[in-house]
Amino acid sequence: MKIGFIGLGNMGGPMAANLAKAGHEVTGFDTASVSVEGVSLAATAAEAAAGRDVVITMLPNGQILRAVAGDIVPAMDAETVFLDCSTVDVASARDVAEQAEKAGLLPLDAPVSGGVGGAQGGTLTFMVGGSEAAFTKAKPLFDIMGQKAVHCGPSGNGQAAKICNNMILGVTMIATCEAFALADKLGLDRQAMFDVVSTSSGYSWTMNAYCPAPGVGPQSPADNGYQPGFAADLMLKDLRLSQQAAEAADADTPMGAAAAALYAQFVEDEDGAGRDFSAMLPRFEGRGRG
């Protein structure tokens, strides 16, 4: 396929490189000066999008997605798949999809799970909203960039799935870190805590696969000084998106709201910026009840 790829950062760059490595003709664009193996660079986003079979975007937020869509939609041929892999608000995803459909394009919103490691290794999970026809056309690309793609329904539902998943993730990580900090103060050894919880009713992905306690469980960012695998800043972004969506849908999400507030305090008022989202554990370690 001829593929345009707009947004060649920490996630987009490796994704584009994997597509090129698989034999696709990839033309990319980024506002920063970048170099991606196998990818030819265009001077503008519109140039990268013109004459392609599929155009993929990986962008920071909904406002930028809307702006880029305004540039590239007029340049794209009818029946081109517009595959947005950014994590943005549901309203932006649906508005851009509507704009694309009016232009005769096949829009998909397909945010990812798996982080930079998943992008590099081609093991991402895609949560996809859009038509069955568009999903089928893009499926071979999902198979190159990731290990799983789930069609979640109409446009916007990919974003809905991502923010619901990450709301659970944020809440669960906080609970896991709180529990380890409490166990410390009760004199319970961390390894014993892990051995019990990881095989009991408290088990979770944050405990079993991404344990926030250094030296306990499988290798995780906690064993690397909390250098980010998934940054607390990005967790805060996703939790805020969940609360924006909850407000729009009139959904009661008190735990999601509490998690958003805690990560905001951690990132903006404490030392959480640039650290992994599991660095909540040392935060709780150093705090008392008051």
Just list the catalytic residues: 162
Output 200-207 pairs: Cβ under 8 A, ≥24 positions apart: 204/172, 204/176, 205/169, 205/172, 206/169, 206/172, 206/173, 206/175, 206/176, 206/278, 207/176
In residues, how long is the chain?
290
Do 41 and 5 touch, CB atoms closer than 8 A? no
What is the longest distance spanned by two Cα atoms in the chain? Answer: 65
CA distance 134 to 144: 16
The single residue listed with the structure tokens 């974003």 is 159
DSSP 198: T
